[in-house]
């Protein structure tokens, strides 16, 4: 079930700004105010689009174009510094390379924490543990610290925990590219079920084959701005054409 509310995403001229301190490290605006000459740059600017139930959106673009930043804004990890964003629906996210797992905690402990973070109560999270354990299929590694996991194992556990909250909106940031063939199929099936139930999938990455299976639409981001927004194949082809290496000679 993809939620009892109509899932939707509406971004209207969304912008995300980064501040730098005198050491040229990214900092917060409060700290930047204490610096003599704070520098700023926009990671996202004037990003507008709308998504309704049943839509899958691929974010394509070169590294540093703002795909991850946009996914983080959609997931509530970052707040926009300009524009307006409305996200309706429960969000499940796999956004970071470690898939949200704390390295020193075991798979079981991470599963409880992730499930509570996803919106379950602690008792619901504990009740869901056998299902998470079975879905993640980590075997004995479930009782070992996540620091001993491969990237794919982390993604499997995080996905199994995220599934427990029955998200209506699924956000994926290249994490799916670390999964083995079997779990890729499962992820695709899971995403298709969300879409079929009126949910939304937003995925970023460079594996366009898997993106094409999940998404009917694509937004091409370039230097934090929307360069194209349309049917997946058209937007993807436009992006690839713009970034194609010049023919030798």
* Residues of this chain that bind other proteins (CB under 8 A): 3-5, 18-19, 23, 25-31, 34, 72-73, 75-91, 93-96, 98-105, 109, 112-114, 116-122, 124-125, 158, 164-166, 168
Question: Are 90 and 119 spatial neighbours (Cβ–Cβ below 8 Å)?
Answer: yes
Q: Which is nearer to other proteins, 100 or 205 (CB)?
A: 100
User: How many other C-beta atoms are found inside a 10 Å radius of the C-beta of residue 111?
Assistant: 29
Nearer to other proteins, 27 or 65 (CB): 27
Which of 167, 176, 183, 185 lies closest to 206 in space, CA to CA? 176
Q: What minimum distance in Å lies between the beta carbon of 143 and other proteins?
A: 11
Question: Could you tell me which of 52, 53, 87, 89 has the C-alpha nearest to residue 70?
Answer: 87
Q: Using an 8 Å Cβ cutoff, are 40 and 18 in contact?
A: yes
Task: Evaluate whether 230 touches 237 at the Cβ level (below 8 Å).
Answer: no
Min separation Cβ 24 and other proteins, Å: 13
Please report how close the Cβ of residue 248 comes to other proteins at its closest, in angstroms: 40
Alpha-helical runs (H) found in the chain = 29-32, 67-74, 107-117, 122-136, 151-163, 181-196, 208-214, 232-242
Residue among 23 and 181 whose Cβ is closer to other proteins: 23
Half-sphere exposure of 190 (CA within 13 A, CB side): 24
**Least distance between other proteins and beta carbon 166 (Å):** 6
CB-nearer residue toward other proteins: 96 or 216: 96
Q: Considering the complex, what minimum distance in angstroms separates the CB of residue 48 from other proteins?
A: 13
* C-beta closer to other proteins: residue 108 or 227: 108
How far is residue 146's CA from residue 27's CA, in Å, rounded to a whole number? 29
From the CB of residue 175, how many other CB atoms can be counted at a distance below 10 Å? 27
For residues 232 and 212, the answer to whether their CB atoms sit within 8 Å is yes
- Residue 59 or 235 with smaller CB distance to other proteins: 59
Task: Supply the minimum distance, in Å, between the C-beta of residue 59 and other proteins.
Answer: 17
């Amino acid at each position: 079930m993809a939620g009892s509310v109509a899932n939707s995403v509406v971004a209207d001229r969304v912008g995300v700004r980064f501040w730098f301190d005198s050491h040229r490290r990214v900092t917060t605006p409060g700290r930047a105010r204490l610096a003599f000459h704070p520098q700023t740059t926009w990671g996202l600017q004037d990003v507008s689009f709308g998504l309704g139930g049943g839509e899958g959106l691929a974010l394509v673009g070169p590294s540093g174009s703002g795909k991850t930043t946009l996914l983080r804004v959609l997931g509530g990890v970052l707040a926009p510094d300009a524009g307006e964003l409305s996200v309706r629906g429960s969000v499940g996210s796999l956004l970071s390379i470690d898939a949200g797992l704390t390295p020193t905690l075991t798979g079981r402990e991470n599963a409880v924490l992730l499930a509570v973070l996803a919106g379950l109560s602690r008792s619901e999270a504990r009740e869901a543990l056998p299902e998470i354990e079975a879905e993640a299929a980590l075997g004995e590694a479930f009782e070992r610290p996540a620091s001993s996991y491969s990237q794919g194992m982390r993604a499997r556990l995080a996905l199994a925990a995220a599934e427990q909250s029955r998200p209506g909106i699924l956000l994926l940031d290249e994490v799916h590219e670390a999964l083995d063939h079997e779990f890729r199929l499962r992820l695709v099936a899971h995403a298709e079920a969300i879409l079929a139930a009126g949910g939304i999938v937003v995925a970023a990455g460079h594996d366009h084959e898997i993106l094409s299976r999940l998404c009917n639409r694509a937004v091409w981001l370039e230097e934090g701005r929307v360069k194209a927004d349309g049917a997946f194949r058209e937007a993807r082809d436009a992006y690839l054409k713009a970034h194609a290496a010049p023919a030798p000679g």
